[in-house]
Amino acid sequence: MPQAVSDHSKTNVVTLSNGPADRVARHQPSPLVRIHLLGIMRAAGVRHADILPRGRKARAILGYLCFAGGAPVPRSRLAAMLWDRVSKYQARASLRQSLRELSVVFGPLAKQVLSIDHQTIQFNTGACWIDANALLAEDPGTQSVRGKLAELCQGELLEDLDGISAAFDQWLLAKRASFAQNLRNLLASKLNETEKPSAQPSERESIARRLLDFDPTHEGASRVIMRALVDRDERVQALVEYKRLNNALKRSLGADPSPETRALFETIRTSGHDEAQPTQLNGPSADERNSAKAAAPKRSHRRVGVMPFIPLSADVDDNLAFALAHEVSAALARFIWFEVVAPTALMRVPAPTFLSDNELRRQDLDYVVDGSVSCSRGIYRISVRLLDLKTDASPVWSRTFELPADRLDLIDEHVTAPIVAQIDPVILYIEGHPKKRDQDDDALSCVMRALPLLNTMERRNYEEGGELIKRALALEPDNAVVLSWAAYWHVFRIGQGWAEDFAQASKTALDYAERATQLDPANAEALAIYAHIVSFINRDTELALHYFEMALQLNPNLPFIWVYSGLTCCYAGDPDAALERLERCRDLTASLPYFSLHENPFAIAYLMKRQYKKAIEIGRRVVHFTPAFVNGYKPLIAALGHLRRREEAALYIGKLLQIEPDFTLKKFAENYPFTQDRDRRHYLEGLRRAGVPEC
């Protein structure tokens, strides 16, 4: 057997690299076994016989061994990974059965490729041809050989083996991320090598097209194709390629093309067919780079880069840290305010080193998320920071998450989701203070500056925020984000009792919200605001919950949706369901100081459940942090009334009437959107006992 790569003391996840066994394989005249790991798994022997085991667990073992580089793999590792929900005894027995199946199906070849003892399993990858390894080999023979491999090796790694176990799924996720990064780096480095003057344009275009087949969002490859098309007088097709790239970036990353790509697009678009000069388009000229920002339209979204996370301890695999960064990047891309630059774009190729602060700024980034992963005594520690590049890369938020090493199946719920849910309001908080940024007059910047003003619920601030939203509407009347927050402004103005014409304000809020959802049906915030308005104004809680569920499918990490869907559950008479949703919001926003408004539905839910002391505790907190929020006082006063604490309630009634002088029991009974009469009567009785005027 070829010399094995030393058994890594890192972790269950084995790095995807070519060990000595793989290099031996390239010198063998004919491999004993051919194994395809990309797409649907296949395996064939020397006489083309199918030697793929039928059992999914046995196939998973074979797939895992293919990436071990010939190193011995502990049996205990495979048993724990593939049978993670049964006893150790049963897991070992099941592993023996799967290994027996693997040996039987390999037949006479088993003795030459498999070595199994009581402690380890070793697979002779040097005697095999494995498509994933061959595609990444340093010397596949010729470029044509690699091109044919790229055509044959299609699909995702082990795409038919998802769902075998939580631990195997996590390993597979990390392995796919690593393979994707390695292949992307390989193709990108080959593309860079062809920038030499002696390189043939056709060779450069060929590599660029293969890179786009693998990564449709690769801008460097797309620019090569655009220039090649112009050289062939296919200017229209070059513009079509830009449109394809733009759509791919929007769909995958929620981002726009870079200034350099937009500048090239403008050069092609504004030049006539006879004016297009191939020499200018064969590479990014100095003038093109210098005019990139001027040629590109001014962006309003904030650009957030996610750096590859760094493994800090020996038992944390690079692939796990890298996969976690990818998950954070994908989750952030669901938020409407950001253009997200994925981790793969923030590494130098071919060497896996990270970009410096100056290089990050040249990427036109506003913020960067970076992190590290360590493991000690069976606990993963994931530390994450948000850096503001406009203020010398200073940290503006940080947090550390802990997760048991055997519960990686919870990593999305307990790590990824809270990270992105907390980054969103931090950036909005920073962007909401105009001294921090230039006073750009684009529509989204106006809305971002308006949101902190709205959250104070103080009338002067609220009206100032309304003016900013009006300015945004004037700039972009068909922007779904602007329309939805304009609807939000109107509906909370109604709730505060400031709308002079209740019917007209309700109609305006509903019209804006409906237009927003029609313009952008995939906008989670717009759907959630529309759902809240349907619930609060139309009192159609069933329809509202339908739209809230649609919004959660689009972005389950947006606390706003959990809060207002919880409030709708209160209106519908289901405080238990409300508390479940509200607790999810609390999990996502733990440690953030910006969510006192989101606490108020807790007080309503506890009031409905007759848990008056809890309602009072939360109600006091709400009115302390947002004393101008009129609806914060009402559940607090009602709970005090039910406990006959009329003297304390009188203090809060006085503050309530300063904000809403005409508040009475009659007005509350007519306007509050409870669907169940018993809930309305219970609430009213508490207010009455507290001393709220009848009419």
pTM of the entire predicted model: 0.56
DSSP string, 371-423: EEEEEETTEEEEEEEEEEGGGTTEEEEEEEEEEETT-GGGHIIIIIHHHHHHH
- What per-residue confidence (pLDDT) applies to 357? 54
604: confidence class by pLDDT, cuts 50, 70, 90? very high
For domain 476-690, the CATH superfamily is Tetratricopeptide repeat domain (1.25.40.10)
Instruction: Write the CB contacts of 608 (distance below 8 Å, at least 6 apart in sequence).
Output: 570, 573, 575, 679, 682, 683
- The pLDDT of 106-110, averaged and rounded, is 89
Alpha-helix residue ranges (DSSP H) falling in 83-152? 88-106, 110-113, 131-136, 143-152
In this predicted structure, the answer to whether residue 592 has a pLDDT above a threshold of 90 is no
In this predicted structure, the answer to whether residue 141 has a pLDDT above a threshold of 50 is no
Instruction: Judge whether 20-177 and 476-690 match in fold.
Output: no
Report whether 519 contacts 478 (CB < 8 A): yes
In this predicted structure, the answer to whether residue 13 has a pLDDT above a threshold of 50 is no
Distance CA 609, CA 95 (A): 51
Nearest to 425 by CA among 311, 670, 189, 596: 596
Mean pLDDT of the chain: 80
- What per-residue confidence (pLDDT) applies to 587? 83
CATH code of the domain made up of 302-431:
3.40.50.10070
Any idea which of 69-78, 202-211, 279-288, 301-310 has the lowest mean pLDDT? 279-288
Highest-scoring range by mean pLDDT, 110-114, 457-461, 612-616: 612-616
358: confidence class by pLDDT, cuts 50, 70, 90? low
Sign of the four-CA dihedral 61, 62, 63, 64: positive
Between 562 and 6, the more confident residue is 562
Any idea which of 404-408, 509-513, 633-637, 645-649 has the lowest mean pLDDT? 404-408
Give φ, ψ of 35 to 5 degrees. Answer: -125, 130
Peptide bond into 350 cis (omega under 30): yes
In this predicted structure, the answer to whether residue 105 has a pLDDT above a threshold of 80 is yes
Any idea which of 31-35, 165-169, 196-200, 382-386 has the lowest mean pLDDT? 196-200
- What per-residue confidence (pLDDT) applies to 531? 95
691: confidence class by pLDDT, cuts 50, 70, 90? very high
Sheet order of strands, 114-116 included: 73-74, 120-123, 114-116
In this predicted structure, the answer to whether residue 145 has a pLDDT above a threshold of 70 is no
Domain edges within the chain: 20-177, 195-295, 302-431, 476-690
- What per-residue confidence (pLDDT) applies to 255? 72
Q: Looking at beta carbons, which pairs linking 469-476 to residues 24 or more positions away fall under 8 Å?
A: 471/441, 471/446, 472/443, 472/444, 472/446, 472/447, 473/443, 475/441, 475/442, 475/443, 475/446, 476/443
What length is written for the chain? Answer: 695
Instruction: Write the CB contacts of 518 (distance below 8 Å, at least 6 apart in sequence).
Output: none
- The pLDDT of 601-619, averaged and rounded, is 95
Distance CA 653, CA 516 (A): 37
- The pLDDT of 421-431, averaged and rounded, is 82
CATH of 20-177, one of 3.40.1400.10, 3.60.20.10, 1.10.10.10, 3.30.43.10: 1.10.10.10
For domain 195-295, the CATH superfamily is Tetratricopeptide repeat domain (1.25.40.10)
